[in-house]
Chain A
Amino acid sequence: MSAAAESVRQSTPVRRRSRRGLVLVGVLALFVVAVIGSLLIGSKPVDPVTAGRALFHPDAGSSESVLMANRLSRTVIGIVIGAVLAAAGAAMQGVTRNPLGDPAILGINSGATCLVVVGIATVGASGAGTYAVWAVIGAALAAVLVYSIASIGRSGATPVKLALVGAAFSAGAMSITNAMILQGQDTLDEFRHWQIGSLSRSTYGDLLSVLPLVVIGVVLTVGLASSINNFALGDDMAQSLGEKVALKRFVIFVGITLLCGAAVALAGPIAFLGLMIPHALRAVLGPDYRWIMPLSLGAGPVILLWADVVGRVLLPPTEIEVGVTMAIVGVPIFIYLIRTRKAVNL
């Protein structure tokens, strides 16, 4: 018996390390497949050879080259958004010890969306760079309000309280948004398209103007992954391990806010990606955020790009925006998590 225990103890670190290597390779492979899929699959089929030629000769002027340039920009933006949302969700779940962390559930998407509309309506904001400023302010406002209100009381910020306060905040933000867009049909027309998360709206220029936020956000969240590990042990424990809990939590919150704001500015609100990726990675990697955080950057785009592809082929010739397909895919997963997990403290 002791021999068996011994062998388990010895093999565990080795096995875990090789397993992590395997997951890393797997995520990278899936990532490549998703990028290829996103480039080749759509309402108009293109064979790989033509696609490759069109991709490398974007100025040929053929219909294929236009199509492929379009798909390429969608794919690039999808990669960024997927990485950003997954990292934001993982950091949120870690730092609040809340398995239901997601920008949509916690009201951050609605806060960002609301402020963007306020920006459009009051000072005529336009372009992703300007949107991003408003979106980050809205995301920060939402994060601070929702988290601090849910923290009041003896039990602290439980997952259910966070989710409920997030939903209430969303409802309030939505009626302010409505008050803005009901002022004119033009605003309504622009906004009703904008409020659906989509990868085909932004250009490379938009992406560049938001990129600094993305980079800082990724550094602040992924770079502090080992602190997130300590947070998982509880604030007291983290403190005794030498963490400056309040400061680190604030810095990670800033990172999450920048990521969410950037994502909303580029693609509009997208739900549930931030929720599901960390859960999937935790299931195969264990609860180590030093692995979960960086791998979420690769795993997020996989799901998001496939969701986008599904949206292209589901109802041809029209396309369904990725914000809609993500919700259709994400809600069953969310409900599955709630039904199976005891840890949600149900």
Chain B
Amino acid sequence: MAMVIALAIGLVGVFAIRVLLGTYTVAIPDFFSILAGHSIPGAAGAKFIVLQDKLPHAVLGTLAGLAFGCSGAIFQLLLRNPLASPDIIGINTSASLGAVVAVSMFGAAGTGMATGGLIGAVACVAVIFGLSAQRESMVGNRFILIGLGISVLAVALTNYLLSRVNIYKAADAAIWLTGSLGSASWQRISVLGLVLVVVLPLIALFSRNLHALEVGDEMASGLGVPVASTRWLYVVLAVLLVAFAVAMTGPITFVAFVSGPIARKCVGGKHSLTASALIGAIIVVLADFVAANLIPGGRLPVGVVTGIVGAPILLWLVAAAQKERS
């Protein structure tokens, strides 16, 4: 519990860093008076920069990070594999395919692209489920491997479509495909916020049943937990989280993947959805701060930073997780 509180404080800290510091700094009193609706005398642009750039980035990053971190931990717990997060087993690549289909075939941009991504993510999970269905359940490697296969196909089709549209659209799509908070707006924030407000309480409500699945299906059903329906419920909830988050920001690489294992290290070897969600949010906001301020003038998408920083972290985590299990 202490760890969760510490993480929450950490999240507030990086949120403050993202909003107040960087190439354009804002003083704390000024920040609150802008929030209250006042302009800052002598700095006419400050209100615009805070309300239209820094704050939306930080808020959307927080929400998306919470969603990625939480859904990653749920997938890893349900599939009983620390490597099996939604971004690795095909959902990210399918969302990308959906978005590029929307761009290339329907001329979509912005919201249209996000909708395409949402449809792609949901369709992907439906297909994996359909193909991996067997008598027992979705647990297991078959689900993971079919996801990986779908992922390779989605990448090939995405690349094909991307090579057929004009270069401006391709450049536009490439930024979304990397994962970016650049299109953060209050409208997007309210959509994702609404999803989180509905889904997160549901996840918390039945989390006792979810954690019972950790010890094994037979043990769990012996404890009176409805195994199959719990599993279905949590898959649907986790997919909702990741699909909407991907739609709003694009697939930000590795956040869902690394949050769960890092959270496990923090809270001492147990699965913790709360810790994982908070770590996801910290990672996204911090990475976005680096992305926005690393190269003066240039604006890297946040996904580049999480990808490059995430790769070595991931290698270390995998190594540590495997050692731990043996």
Contact = CB atoms under 8 A, between A and B. Distances in A.
B52 interface: no
Given A185-B171, A335-B149, A324 B318 contact: no
A130 to B, nearest CB: 22
B127 to A, nearest CB: 10
B254 A172 contact: yes
Judged by DSSP, the binding face of B is helix
Nearest to B147: A167
Interface in B65-93: 81, 83-84, 87-89, 92
A321 B175 CA distance: 24
B160 A345 contact: no
B156 A167 contact: no
Interface stretch (A9-17, A60-68, A188-196, A230-238): A188-196
A153 B322 contact: yes
Contacts of B81: 160, 164
A142 B284 CA distance: 26
Contact of A339 (B83, B142, B306): B142
Given A165-B318, A327-B152, A176 B141 contact: no
B174 interface: yes
B186 to A, nearest CB: 26
Contacts of A85: none
A314 to B, nearest CB: 12
Given A172-B310, A182-B175, A346-B141, A167 B88 contact: yes
Contacts of A173: 311
Given A182-B304, A192-B170, A149 B318 contact: yes
B152 A338 contact: no
B148 A182 contact: no
A121 to B, nearest CB: 13
B105 interface: no
Interface in B215-264: 253-254, 257
A177 to B, nearest CB: 9
Interface string B282-326: 000000000000000000110110111011001100110011011
5 contacts: A153-B326, A163-B145, A178-B307, A324-B156, A324-B159
Given A168-B254, A326-B156, A335-B146, 5 more contacts: A152-B318, A152-B319, A160-B145, A171-B307, A192-B162
9 closest Cβ contacts across the A-B interface? A175-B307, A172-B311, A153-B322, A327-B156, A154-B326, A164-B83, A152-B322, A331-B153, A179-B304
Interface of B: 81, 83-84, 87-89, 92, 131-132, 140-142, 144-146, 148-153, 155-157, 159-160, 162-163, 167, 170-171, 174-175, 177-178, 253-254, 257, 300-301, 303-304, 306-308, 310-311, 314-315, 318-319, 322-323, 325-326
